[in-house]
């Protein structure tokens, strides 16, 4: 077989990228965050339900506990990463104009970072009694 009978497209040969470039890592990270989100969501709901009807001071005291704060941070970060990955798949599958696709993926990343940072800030502020 000659080297020109490759299954790669000409652009793929020039870039030297295979079809699986970073897809496997993306696939596994999405699955891992999905499984983590199941457990972290159950914990989050447990915390929220336990605070139902309690005064603000009790909520602050609960959320100030280091273990609760760490679990809430993990819930927030795992959720933000999973949200970004899932939305990226939707954008890549349904936005066909290359320039618009790049802008949408960038906006998606900035949005996930902004949401994650705002949640982390709120949790840390509550946790440290600010």
**Quick count: other Cβ atoms within 10 Å of Cβ 75?**
21
20, 26, 27, 32: CA torsion to nearest 10: 150
Q: What is the pTM for the complete model shown?
A: 0.79
Q: Which helix (H) or strand (E) holds 45?
A: helix 23-51
Task: Work out the pLDDT band at 88, boundaries 50, 70, 90.
Answer: very high
Instruction: Spell out the domains of the chain, with CATH numbers in brackets.
Output: 23-127 (1.20.1300.10)
Q: Return d(Cα 93, Cα 114) in angstroms, integer.
A: 24
Which percentage of the chain shows pLDDT scores above 90?
76
Buried b (16+ CB within 10 A) or exposed e, 77-112: bbbbbbbbbebbeebeeeeeeeeebeebbeebeeeb
DSSP 16: T
pLDDT in tens, 17-64: 555 556 788 899 999 999 999 999 999 999 999 999 999 999 999 999
């Amino acid at each position: 077989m000659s080297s020109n009978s490759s299954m790669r497209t000409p652009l793929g040969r020039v870039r030297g990228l295979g079809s699986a470039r970073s897809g496997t890592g993306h696939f596994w990270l999405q699955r891992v965050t999905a499984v983590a989100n199941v457990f972290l969501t159950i914990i989050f709901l447990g915390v929220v339900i336990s605070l139902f009807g309690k005064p603000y001071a009790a909520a602050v005291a609960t959320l100030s506990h280091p273990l609760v704060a760490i679990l809430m941070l993990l819930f927030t970060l795992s959720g933000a990463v999973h949200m970004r990955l899932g939305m990226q798949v939707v954008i890549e599958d349904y936005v066909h104009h290359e320039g618009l696709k790049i802008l949408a993926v960038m906006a998606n990343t900035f949005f996930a970072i902004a949401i994650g940072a705002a949640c982390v800030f709120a949790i840390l502020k509550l946790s440290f009694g600010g």
